[in-house]
Amino acid sequence: MKKMNQAYKNNLDYLQAELEWIECRSRSIILEAKAKEAGSDCSTRSYKRYNKSEDSESVLHARSIKYRRRSRRMRNRIDERLLATRAQKINLSIDQLCQQHDLSLQDRTILLLAAAPVFSRKFDDLYSELDPHNLSSGLSVEVVCTFLQLDFEERLRLRQTFTRNHALTKEDLITVSLTQRYSTPNDLLAASVELTTMAFQAIIGERCLTDEFLDFSSLEEPKATFDQVVIAASVHIVEANDVVFSEVSTALDFDQFHGNAAGVGEPVLAAQGDVGALVLADEL
């Protein structure tokens, strides 16, 4: 009992316990879903080719219960140690962050879920298994709903958490992004949820990533070659969306193009007829 009520020494000591709980709870939910699939008709299973001796419904269900009980014990232990930590006036950074932005317990859990892959990529694999429809890899809105085991009404309310007016996004604590254009309400479920650098540094209580490192670590894959970027000296015809455009000849030098030479105004693009020939206004 003494160990159970022991205060956390620091931020990382606390975060390690939370990550262990996230992993245990995730495995419980995954095994529960697999057990239901194993007991369903074979034609509707998404988990294929079960080994009956190891992956039967009863075995999976028993393993799920084992992880669920362990998860509850871990959660209770964490909460009790949090009370002891606060009683000893030990300020955890995530407590200060939640107080500063008036975050709810659910918001706090989302922050922890988003922080987990920063410490280990195994959580990306776990989150992928939590997504029953494989909408995305890593943490997504769907995975958050599954992990929290929300009912229908709670899922609808949770959507507000990922809007721009909610504290998590408004205060730049998480990013919510889609790989495609948002066109229907169900697209939000596939949105990727990631922790920002600012939030990560705030949670661990130190500036571990300098701006210089971030600058050099942000690499972009080239999407064009130099011959596609540099405008050729000759005139080319380019087709785009069934409309033919004529590129501007580069006979004018750089200064003239930008209107720095005397008598040359700002370059303006003008469309002529249905074809839309691209020319400088001064050449019309």
Percentage of the chain beyond pLDDT 70 is 62
User: For residue 256, what are its two tokens?
Assistant: 């003239």
The pLDDT value given to residue 98: 96
User: Residue 3: pLDDT band by 50, 70, 90 thresholds?
Assistant: low
Long-range contacts of 267-270 (CB under 8 A, 24+ apart): none
User: For residue 131, what are its two tokens?
Assistant: 């997504």
Give the C-alpha separation, 243 to 178, whole Å: 30
Ranges 40-49, 93-102, 168-177: which has the least confidence: 40-49
The pLDDT value given to residue 89: 93
User: Residue 133: pLDDT band by 50, 70, 90 thresholds?
Assistant: confident
Dihedral sign, Cα of residue 253, residue 258, residue 261, residue 266:
positive
The pLDDT value given to residue 189: 84
User: For residue 75, what are its two tokens?
Assistant: 């959660």
The whole model's pTM is what? 0.69
Does the pLDDT at position 101 exceed 70?
yes
The pLDDT value given to residue 53: 45
- pLDDT (mean) for 154-171: 92
Does the pLDDT at position 270 exceed 50?
no
Give the C-alpha separation, 255 to 142, whole Å: 53
User: Residue 2: pLDDT band by 50, 70, 90 thresholds?
Assistant: very low
Q: What is the mean pLDDT of the chain?
A: 76
The pLDDT value given to residue 16: 96
Residue (of 5, 12, 28, 8) closest to 77 by Cα position:
5
Percentage of the chain beyond pLDDT 90 is 50
The pLDDT value given to residue 188: 84
Does the pLDDT at position 73 exceed 90?
yes
The pLDDT value given to residue 266: 45
Residue (of 108, 151, 132) closest to 189 by Cα position:
132
30, 129 contact by CB (below 8 A): yes
Give the C-alpha separation, 6 to 278, whole Å: 73
115, 195 contact by CB (below 8 A): yes
**Which of the given ranges, 45-49, 93-97, 151-155, 272-276, has the highest pLDDT on average?**
93-97
Cα-flanking dihedrals φ and ψ of residue 195, to 5°?
-80, 140
The pLDDT value given to residue 138: 87
More confident residue, 282 or 136: 136
DSSP for 96-136 reads: HHHHHTT--HHHHHHHHHHHHHHH-THHHHHHHHH-TT---
Calculate the alpha carbon distances from 67 to 3, 136, 209, 256 in Å.
21, 25, 35, 71
* pLDDT tens, position by position, 173-230: 999 987 666 667 777 888 899 999 999 999 998 765 544 444 444 445 556 666 666 6
The pLDDT value given to residue 194: 95
